[in-house]
Structure 1
């Protein structure tokens, strides 16, 4: 086993965890791959990547750990009058959290791209006015 490159520190030494920019690139690719009309209807949604949710988000959502949240939608869904921004209304935004996604990736067989895409689509579902229960039902119906 010692002769395998995977056991050699020189093989693993230069490798690094995917960066915030790497996660963002995966998210941009997922957004670009959305079918129409979803892609057009999502073009004004900002997509941001952070290592973790803020302390305020963790407190508001009563999370046991910041690792418990992979993504978050902030804004007003299209079915809740989100199509016409009110004066002073912030744009709809999706947050993707890198460290929780990397932990999930390490513990499962999904590719990182699949995880980022799944989380992004789930959060964009909120932009379209879908609840978590709606999306779980859709997801269960696809399996």
Structure 2
């Protein structure tokens, strides 16, 4: 008899993995993440994909939206809180394709987006990952 496989993890499960990851980050990083909103959506919407120049919605697993810490000021008012969006379907697809655990994948994407909150570019993060042997 074939092994039964349960349903794919839902958005709440992925959100919990992300919030647990944020809580587990060490100080001083965690001290600057208390106001970040994490939300999970099935896919990025068409406006986001167009703004980012992405044609295939399966390519985007996460997105940071907000003012990086390096650009924040007490004089900035009316800004929405920083937000990290995780896109469930592309995450699940990458999880299946790579064979890494869902927890590790969510943490990886989340840390990447947190890097943007701290003002790091994609190139900066890639250089850090390469230096760390990741």
- Could you say which TM-score interval applies, normalised by the shorter chain? over 0.9
What residue number does 1:123 align with?
113
Please list every run of 5 or more consecutive structure 2 residues that lacks an aligned counterpart in the other structure.
none
Judging changes above 3 Å, is the alpha-carbon distance between structure 1 residues 126 and 39 closer, same or farther for their aligned structure 2 residues?
same
What residue number does 2:37 align with?
46
1:1-143 alignment, distance < 5 Å: 3=1, 5-6=2-3, 11-12=4-5, 15-80=6-71, 82-84=72-74, 86-143=76-133
Please list every run of 5 or more consecutive structure 1 residues that lacks an aligned counterpart in the other structure.
none
Q: Per-residue displacement from partner, 1:23-74 (whole Å, max 9, x unpaired)?
A: 0010011011101111111111111111111110011112121111010010
Aligned counterparts of 2:51 and 2:95: Cα–Cα separation in 1: 26
Normalised TM-score (structure 1): 0.88
1:109 Cα shift? 2.2
Task: Report the RMSD for the aligned CA atoms in angstroms.
Answer: 1.2
Question: Higher Cα Rg: structure 1 or 2?
Answer: 1
Superposed structure 1 runs of 4+ greater than 3 Å apart: none
Q: How many residues align?
A: 133
